[in-house]
């Protein structure tokens, strides 16, 4: 497939590349956080948008990687770079367990099962105080020294997230990605065509989990703090809302969704502590009025105007 | 020996509480195909309402009643919101999830982050002696309520007109409607019944598990496990599932205190490998 709007992509890249100049200081770190969450949202979209399986466990996978990095660097005193593969490995291991259990289900059952599995991770992080620090969490700088400067870190995250986005884009357009789409449309037909749908979903899940883990590692380096709320359901919900706002099945919509939610979170948090309430209201309103997402809504609105 | 017996009793009483929560959940899930993720938040709301009503009036029973009424009314609000996304399972689930976040935050605003315990009435305080151990009367009371609700629900579903209507509405709501019955009213009644059960559970659970801001997620994950193990829409499944989860979590907490969540999860995983729809689940 050809890129339909090369100019738009170029403009977006230019805007992203000039962030430290146009939005210095605190705003740069906000942009870094947005990129980290965009990666999480895209990883969720692989399952929700392409495989047609809406997961509620990615906060847990993301948070597991964050916990592993924080524990390895701050408590065990390990090398921050070595923490990267360890975090990814942990995310893969957790996704493997989740996937093995969940890929045979679909629809609401898949959602419920992944929700319950994610909650278990949260419960373990909450109670396994000797390792996770319980409610207090783990604190300390886990970022490699080379990336200490916020601007350097921003560019590092930008390059990592864009490369990951490119890999994911290739992934969903590959024959394998198309087979996931086929499973979304009709699993029974794909199976009768000779596809091992369970294994395809398993691989799709693992890839999605790996990407969620990568964003979790970046988050650990960014935030220098992890607590049970990082792996909580609200995290998965936030990621999923970003996907829905950006448009399910659009992949790069994750950038838009993440930007909208992160900016909103910051604006709302400066006025009130009731962010969780706003998130809930947002969810309810989106489900009732714009289930195809804000981007999808805008697109259909524009299409209607163009036709006129 | 006596400590094992004590744990066994604890499991049974915890199972009764879980059944109260999960039966409402599975009722709504099985009959109306709605996964109500706000169920845990409803439970917590019920607990808080019971606490404040009971301390203000000095009567446990008034607190229980207030919890039932308040949560059933909240259920009515939720049911009317759900009408906007009728027929789309995923949108329904995500809407209830949003509601859960809202309710949880509202509880934090209204009741604060402190831990409360619903005060029990004097006639339920203190222990009784049986089988050579002393056991709290209140927990036995919860156990008997759980058992009573199980039989009550079974009778309701299988021996009354409303139960017959509910079951008929699940199979073919259009035909039921064509026979001149307001099926929507039946479903609203079912939903409110499920919510009332969550309210009862909140009031009863609020006295022995105590109430705090994350209690809703904990009870939700337990009831999810119950429904996943038992299969959706099945009362017997909810009862067996509650018992299994309660036994696993009680003994798990004694043997592996830090990893008790894992202990529920292991057998659940094994079961799913062989019966993806749960013990009593049927393909519909």
For the segment A139-155, what is each residue's pLDDT rounded down to a tens digit? 888 888 888 888 899 99
Please report residues of A whose CB lies closer than 8 A to that of B81.
284, 288
Angstrom distance (rounded) from CA A187 to CA A151: 46
Please report residues of B whose CB lies closer than 8 A to that of A237.
97, 101
DSSP structure string for A190-224: HHHTT--HHHHHHHHHHHHHHHHHHHHHHHHHHHS
Q: Do A108 and B35 touch (CB under 8 A)?
A: yes
Task: Tell me which residue in B95, B259, B265 faces A287 most closely, judged by beta carbons.
Answer: B95
Angstrom distance (rounded) from CA B175 to CA B34: 21
Most confident of A181-185, B119-123, B209-213: A181-185
Which helix (H) or strand (E) segment is B197 a member of? helix B183-208
Query: For position B144, what pLDDT does the model report?
Result: 93
User: B146-203 pLDDT, tens per residue?
Assistant: 999 999 999 998 899 888 888 887 777 788 888 888 888 888 888 999 999 999 999 9
Most confident of A112-126, A224-238, B63-77: B63-77
Residue A308: pLDDT band (50, 70, 90) is low
A288 to chain B, any CB pair closer than 8 A? The answer is: yes
Q: Do A283 and B101 touch (CB under 8 A)?
A: yes
Q: Is the pLDDT of residue B69 over 70?
A: yes
Query: For position B282, what pLDDT does the model report?
Result: 66
What's the CA angle centered on A33, arms A249 and A169, to 5 degrees?
A: 30
Q: Do B265 and A107 touch (CB under 8 A)?
A: no
Query: For position A45, what pLDDT does the model report?
Result: 93
The residue of A109, A113, A124, A188 whose CB has the most chain B CBs within 10 angstroms, and thus the best one to mutate to test that interface, is A109
A282 versus B1: the higher-pLDDT residue is A282
State the complex-level ipTM.
0.78
Q: Which of B48, B157, B150, B62 is nearest to B107 (CA)?
A: B48
Q: Is the pLDDT of residue A13 over 80?
A: yes
DSSP structure string for A112-151: HHHHHHHHHHHHHHHH-HHHH-GGG-EES--S-GGG-SHH
Query: For position B284, what pLDDT does the model report?
Result: 54
Q: Is the pLDDT of residue A3 over 60?
A: no
The Cα of A123 is separated from the nearest Cα of chain B by a number of Å equal to 6
Task: Tell me which residue in A123, A127, A283 faces B94 most closely, judged by beta carbons.
Answer: A283
How distant, in Å, are the alpha carbons of A55, B158, B212 from that of A236? Answer: 8, 40, 22
Q: Please, which residues have CB within 8 angstroms of residue A179's CB and are 6 or more apart in sequence?
A: A190, A195, A200
Query: For position B283, what pLDDT does the model report?
Result: 59
Interface of B with A in 29-48 (CB under 8 A): 33, 35, 37
Percent of chain A surpassing pLDDT 70:
97
Angstrom distance (rounded) from CA A202 to CA A96: 8
Q: What is the pTM assigned to this prediction?
A: 0.84
Query: For position B252, what pLDDT does the model report?
Result: 82
């Amino acid at each position: 497939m050809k890129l339909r709007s090369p100019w738009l992509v170029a403009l977006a890249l230019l805007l992203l590349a000039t962030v430290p100049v146009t939005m210095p200081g605190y705003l740069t770190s906000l942009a870094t956080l947005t990129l980290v969450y965009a990666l999480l949202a895209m990883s969720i979209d692989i399952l929700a948008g392409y495989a047609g399986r809406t997961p509620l466990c990615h906060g847990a996978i993301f948070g597991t990687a964050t916990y592993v990095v924080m524990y390895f660097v701050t408590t065990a005193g390990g090398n921050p770079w070595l923490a990267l593969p360890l975090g990814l490995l942990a995310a893969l291991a957790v996704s493997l367990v989740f996937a093995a259990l969940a890929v045979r289900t679909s629809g609401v059952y898949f959602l419920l099962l992944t929700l319950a599995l994610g909650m278990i991770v949260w419960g373990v992080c909450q109670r396994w105080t000797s390792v996770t620090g319980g409610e207090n969490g783990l604190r300390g700088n886990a970022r490699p020294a080379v990336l200490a400067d916020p601007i350097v870190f921003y560019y590092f995250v930008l390059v990592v997230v864009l490369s990951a986005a490119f890999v994911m884009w290739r992934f969903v357009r590959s024959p394998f990605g198309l087979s996931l789409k086929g499973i979304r449309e009709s699993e029974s037909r794909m199976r009768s065509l000779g596809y091992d749908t369970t294994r395809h979903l398993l691989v799709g899940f693992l890839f999605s989990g790996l990407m969620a883990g990568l964003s979790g590692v970046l988050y650990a380096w960014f935030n220098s703090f992890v607590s049970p709320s990082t792996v909580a359901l609200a995290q998965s919900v936030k990621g999923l809302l970003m996907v829905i706002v950006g448009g399910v099945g659009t992949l790069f919509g994750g950038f838009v969704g993440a930007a909208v939610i992160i900016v909103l979170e910051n604006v709302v948090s400066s006025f009130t502590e009731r962010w969780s309430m706003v998130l809930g209201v947002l969810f309810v309103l989106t489900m009732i009025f714009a289930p195809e997402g804000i981007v999808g809504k805008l697109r259909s609105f524009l299409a209607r105007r163009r036709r006129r | 020996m006596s400590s094992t017996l004590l744990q066994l009793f604890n499991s049974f009483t915890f199972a009764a509480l879980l059944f109260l929560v999960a039966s409402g959940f599975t009722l709504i899930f099985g009959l109306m195909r709605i996964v109500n993720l706000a169920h845990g938040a409803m439970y917590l709301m019920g607990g808080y309402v019971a606490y404040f009503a009971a301390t203000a009036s000095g009567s446990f029973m008034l607190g229980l009643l207030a919890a039932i009424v308040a949560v059933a009314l909240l259920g009515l609000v939720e049911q009317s919101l759900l009408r906007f996304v009728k027929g789309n399972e995923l949108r329904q689930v995500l809407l209830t999830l949003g509601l859960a976040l809202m309710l949880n935050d509202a509880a934090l605003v209204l009741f604060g982050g402190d831990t409360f315990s619903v005060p029990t009435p004097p006639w339920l305080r203190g222990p009784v002696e049986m089988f050579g151990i002393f056991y709290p009367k209140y927990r036995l009371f919860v156990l008997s309520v759980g058992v009573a609700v199980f039989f009550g629900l079974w009778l309701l579903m299988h021996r009354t007109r409303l139960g017959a209507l509910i079951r008929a509405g699940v199979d073919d709501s259009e035909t039921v409607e064509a026979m001149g019955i307001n099926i929507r009213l039946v479903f609203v009644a079912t939903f409110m019944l499920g919510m009332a059960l969550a309210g009862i559970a909140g009031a009863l659970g609020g006295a022995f598990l105590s109430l705090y801001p994350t209690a809703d997620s904990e009870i939700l994950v337990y009831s999810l496990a119950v429904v996943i193990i038992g299969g959706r829409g099945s009362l017997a499944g909810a009862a067996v599932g509650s018992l299994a989860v309660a036994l696993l979590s009680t003994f798990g907490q004694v043997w592996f205190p830090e990893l008790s969540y894992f202990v529920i999860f292991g057998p659940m995983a094994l079961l799913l490998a062989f019966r993806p729809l749960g013990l009593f689940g049927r393909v519909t």
